[in-house]
Amino acid sequence: MKLLYFAWLKTQIGKSEEVVQPPASVATVADLLDWLPQQGPAYKVIAERRATIRVAINQDFARPDQAVAPGDEVALFPPVTGG
Amino acid sequence: MSVSVQREDFDPGAELAALTAGRSDVGGVCLFVGLVRDSASDADVTAMTLEHYPGMTERMLEKIEAEACRRWPLQGCRIVHRYGRLEAGERIVLVATASPHRAAAFESSRFLIDWLKTRAPFWKVEHGRDGEDRWVEAKAEDDAVAAQWER
């Protein structure tokens, strides 16, 4: 699974993308957001700002209960501020 | 009907001309240009950098444009959004719609900018006069305005 980070998530986690292999128990967006903070101190921000974080799966906005699969591109980012 | 996501500036006059080129059935064009303000938040802002999600950005802008065309009788529709570092006073975004009647042109252009602000994956970091960088936070009022178009 390819993960992308944007805006302050990118600066806090310290990278813009990475490939991860979560266990099979990580089935949804919410599961992924639970699992990531356990992967090291850099990911603590995901737990701390959980309610603020938005997720896209394969470049479409995703809900917390939406399924994630090994081949997916999953992006984590703050609410958008364009325009 | 087209979207552009680009680093370079755009020419509003040329965009306007392109929307109506070769046709005489357009009743009106509504064109909105967003600029970098020098006091976007508390501290003075000298510039900002816009980051975006290549691929998803174009996809979302195309969806927003398609939704506008579904809701209003548009003869033309255009979105240009810049990314990268922009100085105060520079143009950031252009939305424009052409229609036989002004109401559709006004409403649809407003719809485009309102939805774009809450759905297109761009993030602004402001560069303050004090040397600090600050990520711009999303505004609840932008969500409220965008929600008015939900149906």
Query: Tens place of pLDDT for every residue, chain A, 83 residues?
Result: 999 999 999 999 999 999 999 999 999 999 999 999 999 999 999 999 999 999 999 999 999 999 999 999 999 999 999 99
Q: How far is B36 from chain A (nearest CA, A)?
A: 10
Between chain A and chain B, the number of residue pairs with CB atoms below 8 A apart is 70
Q: Is B27 helix (H, G, I), strand (E, B) or coil?
A: coil
Tokens of B65: 């444009």
Which of A56, A78, A83 has its CB closest to that of B56? A56
Percent of chain B with pLDDT over 70: 97
What residues of B are in contact with residue A6 (Cβ under 8 Å)? 51, 53, 121, 123
Which residue type occupies A57? I
H/E stretch holding B118: helix B102-119
Model confidence at B44, pLDDT cuts 50, 70, 90, reads: confident
Q: How confident is the model at residue B43 (pLDDT cuts 50, 70, 90)?
A: low
Cross-chain residue pair B125–A7, CB shorter than 8 Å = yes
Dihedral sign, CA of B129, B45, B121, A32? Answer: positive
Rounded Cα–Cα distance for residues B38 and B68 (Å): 31
In this predicted structure, the answer to whether residue B42 has a pLDDT above a threshold of 70 is: no
pLDDT score of B136 more than 90: yes
DSSP summary character for residue B25: -
Token pair 């995901």: residue = A46
Contacts of B51 in chain A (CB under 8 A): 6-7
Query: Cα angle at B4 between B3 and B8, to 5 degrees?
Result: 160
The residue ranking higher by pLDDT, B128 or B135, is B135
- Of B143 and A36, the structure prediction assigns the larger pLDDT to A36
Q: Which of B100, A54, B87, B46 is nearest to A46 (CA)?
A: A54
The rounded distance, in Å, linking the Cα atoms of A8 and A76 is 10
Structure ipTM over 0.85, yes or no? yes
Structure tokens at A72: 């997916």
pLDDT value at B129 more than 80? yes
Helix (H) or strand (E) holding B18, with range, is: helix B12-20
